[in-house]
Structure 1
Amino acid sequence: MHIDLIRSSSSKSLPQQISGTLAQRIRSGLLQPGARLPSVRSLAVSLKVSQVTVSKAYAELERSGMIICSQGKGCFVANPELFKQSEGHSWQEHYNDYLPRAQLWRNFKDSEVKYPFHLAAIHSGLLPLEQIGATMAALVTAQPELMATYGNFQGDPDLRETMRAHLLARGIKLASSDLMITSGTQQGIDLVARTFVGPGDTVYLEAPSYTGAIDVFAGRGAEMIFVPMDEEGMKVDVLTRLCDERPPKLIYTAPTFQNPSGVTMSMARRQRLLEIVRSYRCLLVEDDPFSDLYFHSPPPPPIKSLDTDGHVVYMKSFSKVLAPGSRVACVAAGGDILSRLIAAKSASDLGGPLLTQRAVLPFIAKKYDAYAAELRMILRRRMELADKLLKRYAPPGVTWNLPEGGLSLWLELPPSQDIGRLHELAGQQGISFLPGDVCYAGHTPSRHIRLCYSQMSEEDMQQGLASFLDLLDKYLS
């Protein structure tokens, strides 16, 4: 079992790093209930640490109830009675991998429940699937050669020009040659991390942060430092003090309707964050999936619109609000940074599918703005309905703030609650939510949960939320 250890880390000891990584693997399902952990001796040899160090890590996991150790038998992930393994596949258990966690994968595994509040997505009935599907069908009939053609590594030139005009209307001035089309922003984050982040590099994120980004940076062996937020977004004064101690290689932020908290960063904070990035000559990854989904007035302009030195790598998702299966997003960067990202993408997928890029192009060019305006009204109504149900049925001690846009609500539960147990009980009733602890790395506990109000039909959303609040009331009492 491979674990990237940062031996110069002043924030976490080696036992804490080992136990934290194993805890993440257990929570995300990479280590399943009943799986046997490597022996203390074998893990110590593979990680080049003392057996005492591994013993301390295992002791911490056992105290937290995540593993069970038996003298002479070894240590196992808790609840061994739930674990079933084919004899023919038993060799795979000790085949090394380099995945410290895979929480995003686990989240999508929960998608078959009746009320999937955990997934930040838009109900298919609200998406322009028929229009985009009709365009794709026409392309297949008229230009079947598109299916036999490798796409441009940087993305279809016409689509890049359309996206350039789209970003220009939002204050970002650049050429279409400064854009790259990716398979969703998740690929963009992965490309940045694989190109510029290595073991021990310091990456700063908001606390809490997007689960998929945490998975990616953890996979690169980065030392992630989480910066607290308030109603104006990431606390840049705290970030400044932290950067003085550990200079950043990269800072990741979702400043508009942040996932999962829903907080929007103020203009003053955006300007200050850019100043910090310039002073440390590092990259800022600005993830922007939701800025077009505002409920009242438009949010502050993207940080990229202020960037004159190429420090900001801006990522804009279109698939999430149009057709998630199309996996279309754009990455805006410049100079040698973009060149290296294009090189990384060419090695990753030989260029994105040309057919899907051409299928979404006409809609983005001619119909997107009107569609987004209508979608904003629908999502605002959904959010207000969810808020009414919460005000009526939420137990005492449960709090939340209304976002100015986006797809989810971020709830805080009373102290000393076992959210893992609540998640299990909800699942038995066909209800899922996103536990807040997956939005951090390591053992960080959280009293929060995320509920998405846009994934289901309006009727199902209300029924599911009422059922969940009834369960929550009984659980807390």
Structure 2
Amino acid sequence: MHIDLNRSSNKSLPQQICETLSQRISSGLLHQGAQLPSVRGLAVSLKVSQVTVSKAYAELARRGVINCSQGKGCFVAETEHKQSQEGAGWQSKYDDYLPRAQLWRNFDYSEVKYPFHLAAIHSELLPLDYIGATMASLVTKQPELMATYGNFQGDFELREMMSGHLQSRGIALSSSDLMITSGAQQGIDLVARTFVGPGDTVYLEAPSYTGAIDVFAGRGAEMIFVPMDSEGMRVDLLTKMCDQRPPKLIYTCPTFQNPSGVTMSMTRRQRLLELARSYSCLLVEDDPFSDLYFHTPPPPSIKSMDLDGHVVYMKSFSKVLAPGCRIACVAAEGNILSRLIAAKSASDLGSPLLTQRAVLPFISKKYDTYVGQLRNALRGRMEKAAKLLKEYAPPGVNWVLPEGGLSLWLELPSALGVGRLHDLAERESISFLPGDVCYAGDTPSRHIRLCYSQMNEADMEQGLRLFLRLLSRFLA
């Protein structure tokens, strides 16, 4: 079994082993009932002492994550809902380099009737008919698009249009400074694979986007989480942390942050950019939601203030148009962008040209009008969800209404039992996102994320009412 160990980390080696195994188990990469390597075998594999491995196993056993038996070994503990034991036999013993996979584990609820876990927009609100008709016309009139590799950097017409789109939002970049990716998730992955290696220090907000954590964990990064308040990431604390461990990269979602919904103030944005300049590091600005404000526009993007190319800006269009098309824009300059394009060429030979051309007319002609209507619809759903929370949420449950975005971030009285609540909700065909997957390691969280935009209004209201009643019984 492969585990990246950072011997210069502030975390002890037993703690690193324990956290990695715990995340692999919670992600489903180690199925329930699976046998762990022997203490001696894992010690040899990781080049550590048997005492180090024994301490990690003892802590996992204390938490109830594994069961150990003298003479038989240690096994992943089983719960009421036993997972299918895929990969039993030789496959389960075949080494991989995945430290965690929470994005996969916590977003696959295809059979759930009330999917509050997924930060997405219901199909009835998306312009699928228009984009679908455009795609059908392209297939009929320009079938050669399906026989053509797209440019590694992305379709030139789409980049030209996106350049104008970003300029209208204060980001003065040309088409040559942009790259089209298959969603912002690919953009995050390309940045990490290009610029982050084992032991590099990556700072993130606490909590942070699960998919970004998975990516940076896969690179063996030393992730350090920075607390937030009502103005976003605590840059004052980050500054002190950077004095101890200089950053290789800082990742932030400053506008309607995923999962908390908090928006970073203008002052914090400026200070964060100054910090990136002082340490000559990259600042990744993930921006899926800035167009989805409910009342007043959010502060300008950090990228709009970047004069030295420290910010890699990612703008997802998949989220608000057609998630299945997987279209996002990555903005960067100079040699940073060149290396990202080189990484993308090795990754997929370029995003599909057909889907790029399919969204081009809509973004060019109808996007601004459409997104204004979408804001109104989402605000209405948020207000209905807020009304239900006020009426049905049990005492001790707290939340702050977001100024935009797709989700509510609820704080429960205690972190204890969130896993049990998750199991009970799943039995009622209800899903939510547990807050602990928005951290690395084994940080217990008393928060959960509920998305109010994934279902039609009737299902959202009914599902939220059922969940809050379940939550009341559970807390009682």
TM-score for both structures, normalised by structure 2: 0.99
Match of 1:383 in 2: 382
80 and 37 in structure 1: CA distance in 2 versus 1, 3 angstrom threshold: farther
- How far apart, CA to CA, are the structure 2 residues paired with 1:85 and 1:127? 38
Match of 1:415 in 2: 414
Offset at residue 84 of structure 1 (A): 5.2
- How far apart, CA to CA, are the structure 2 residues paired with 1:367 and 1:356? 17
- Deviating 4+ runs (over 2 angstroms): 80-86
Offset at residue 417 of structure 1 (A): 2.9
Does the 8 Å contact 2:281/2:310 carry over to 1? yes
Does the 8 Å contact 1:2/1:96 carry over to 2? yes
Does the 8 Å contact 1:111/1:119 carry over to 2? no
- How far apart, CA to CA, are the structure 2 residues paired with 1:175 and 1:432? 42
Match of 2:199 in 1: 200
Match of 1:71 in 2: 70
Does the 8 Å contact 2:148/2:353 carry over to 1? yes
Tell me the amino acid that sits aligned with residue 202 of structure 2.
Answer: V
Offset at residue 108 of structure 1 (A): 2.4
Match of 1:26 in 2: 25
Match of 1:365 in 2: 364
- How far apart, CA to CA, are the structure 1 residues paired with 2:441 and 2:106? 17
Matched, 1:113 2:123: no
Match of 1:53 in 2: 52
Tell me the amino acid that sits aligned with residue 240 of structure 1.
Answer: T
Tell me the amino acid that sits aligned with residue 268 of structure 2.
Answer: R
Offset at residue 32 of structure 1 (A): 1.2
1:386-414 Cα offsets, whole Å, 9 max, x none, are 00000000000000000100000000000
Offset at residue 416 of structure 1 (A): 5.0
- How far apart, CA to CA, are the structure 1 residues paired with 2:79 and 2:430? 25
- Structure 2 residue runs without a partner (length 5+): none
Matches within 5 A, 1:219-298: 219-298=218-297
State the SS of the aligned residue for 1:320: coil
Offset at residue 85 of structure 1 (A): 4.0
Match of 1:167 in 2: 166
Does the 8 Å contact 2:38/2:73 carry over to 1? yes
1:145-181 Cα offsets, whole Å, 9 max, x none, are 0000000000000000110011001100011000000
TM-score for both structures, normalised by structure 1: 0.98
Tell me the amino acid that sits aligned with residue 223 of structure 1.
Answer: E
State the SS of the aligned residue for 2:165: helix
Match of 1:453 in 2: 452
- How far apart, CA to CA, are the structure 1 residues paired with 2:83 and 2:124? 38
Match of 1:37 in 2: 36
- How far apart, CA to CA, are the structure 2 residues paired with 1:38 and 1:93? 11
Match of 2:391 in 1: 392
Matches within 5 A, 1:56-135: 56-79=55-78, 82=82, 85=85, 89-135=88-134
- How far apart, CA to CA, are the structure 1 residues paired with 2:334 and 2:308? 10
Offset at residue 279 of structure 1 (A): 0.1
288 and 53 in structure 1: CA distance in 2 versus 1, 3 angstrom threshold: same
- Structure 1 residue runs without a partner (length 5+): none
Tell me the amino acid that sits aligned with residue 212 of structure 2.
Answer: A
- How far apart, CA to CA, are the structure 2 residues paired with 1:32 and 1:308? 48
1:116-164 Cα offsets, whole Å, 9 max, x none, are 0000000011100010000000000010000000000000000001100
Does the 8 Å contact 2:415/2:444 carry over to 1? no
Match of 2:7 in 1: 7
Offset at residue 83 of structure 1 (A): 5.3
Offset at residue 110 of structure 1 (A): 1.8
Does the 8 Å contact 2:433/2:450 carry over to 1? yes
Tell me the amino acid that sits aligned with residue 264 of structure 2.
Answer: M
1:100-122 Cα offsets, whole Å, 9 max, x none, are 00000112212320000000000
Tell me the amino acid that sits aligned with residue 286 of structure 1.
Answer: E
- How far apart, CA to CA, are the structure 1 residues paired with 2:255 and 2:402? 10
Matches within 5 A, 1:431-470: 431-470=430-469
CA RMSD, Structure 1 to Structure 2 (Å):
1.0
- Percent same amino acid at aligned positions? 80
Offset at residue 375 of structure 1 (A): 0.3
